[in-house]
Amino acid sequence: MAILPILEVPDPRLKTVSEPVTIFDEALQTLIADMFETMYEAPGIGLAAIQVGVPKRILVIDLQEPVEHNHDHGEHCNHDHEVIRDPRVFINPEILDPSKDLNIYSEGCLSVPEQYADVERPAAIRARWQDETGKQHEEEMEGLMATCLQHEMDHLEGILFIDHLSRLKRQMVLKKLNKYRKEAA
């Protein structure tokens, strides 16, 4: 496994429309493993293949739910951010039935580091996709999983979360990103 470089705005490859996956082979398994390792290292909860320069319709998502600990008698927890991992792979995903109800979620993106903005999306969706073996799946999703899947699917069409913002808000986010990059350099 390897940690891959993540493309960041304004890299023009992020605007690429990704191609469907037709071959489910060892190279695909390696790419998926590398994508998970890259996402966890970043750290993030979702990553599209195009974000690591591969224009294929592949997404990895892991919402990584924090583990709740019951501490009696004033004990202190020695665990570093213990989480329950639930890695999920979505290949050639489609949204079949978006709800009319909308949610607003403060989204961020590994390709737009340390920047967040409110994006409105359908609150629930029915999604269809293939797993890493090519098997077809279909599921109703809501909440953060629905938002994350829609966000990552946007990448497959060359769309970033900042493309959902007004021109003024998008310019403000990009200005803050440039400031962040200067301070981090």
Contact residues for 107 (Cβ-Cβ < 8 A; gap 6+): 116, 117, 118, 119, 147, 151, 161
Q: Which residues are paired to 58 by β-bridges?
A: 91
H helices of 17-89, in order, are 26-41
142 is catalytic: no
Q: Which residues are paired to 130 by β-bridges?
A: 91, 136
**Cis status, amide bond into 55, omega within 30 of 0:** no
Closest CA to 153 of 29, 39, 25, 50: 50
**Cis status, amide bond into 10, omega within 30 of 0:** yes
| Options 139, 152, 157, 183, the catalytic residue | 152
What's the Rg (C-alpha) of the chain? 17
CA distances from 17 to 54, 109, 160 (A): 11, 18, 12
Catalytic annotation, residues: 152
